[in-house]
Structure 1
Amino acid sequence: MDLSQPKTIKVKIFNTEYTLKVEDEELAYKVAEYVDGLMRELHDKLPNQSVLTIAILTALNIAEELFRERMNKGYVESEIEDLLRGLSSKVDKILSL
């Protein structure tokens, strides 16, 4: 698929159909399925809540996942940088012998 050409698709999330313009159709379907699944899961736990409340709680859960991933990525990058600094220091010592 040519990613430079947006394509119009239809997805169904929590019983509502949405028309989207997307560059990556496969990714868009996966994301829609993920959001739909989270909304249904929350609705099962909180059946008396409005669709808006379910949508907001779902958005907050996804945002929390994103922030956790970003923090983990930063931690991993920091660990890699520390390892590289240590290796570089050892290589410098070996080369100066």
Structure 2
Amino acid sequence: MSFPEHRILHVSGRVQGVFYRQSTVRQAQQLGLSGYARNNPDGTVTIEAEGPATALDALEAWCHQGPIAARVDKVSVTSGPVQGYTEFRVER
């Protein structure tokens, strides 16, 4: 049995206005993850995701590419305490 993990991904580059958040939601839902994706005032995107480590690894790998119109310059990842999210959504 694997315990859920919580990761915070901070994505920079051309990641706003290119459907990055919506594409992240789709990827995360396919992987069975919960959490959210949100735009930040500085033009970056923050993703908080919870679930099995293998699914989080897959989401992290996807975040380095993102949707076709995105240009990802950097993805930084930190861990945090599990929050108990029940779905994955866009946060505004």
Give the alignment's TM-score, normalised by structure 1.
Answer: 0.28
Relative to its length, the structure with more helix (as a share) is: 1
> Which one has more relative contact order, counting CA pairs under 8 Å at least 6 apart?
2
Task: Work out which of the two has the higher radius of gyration on C-alpha atoms and give 1 or 2.
Answer: 1
Relative to its length, the structure with more strand (as a share) is: 2
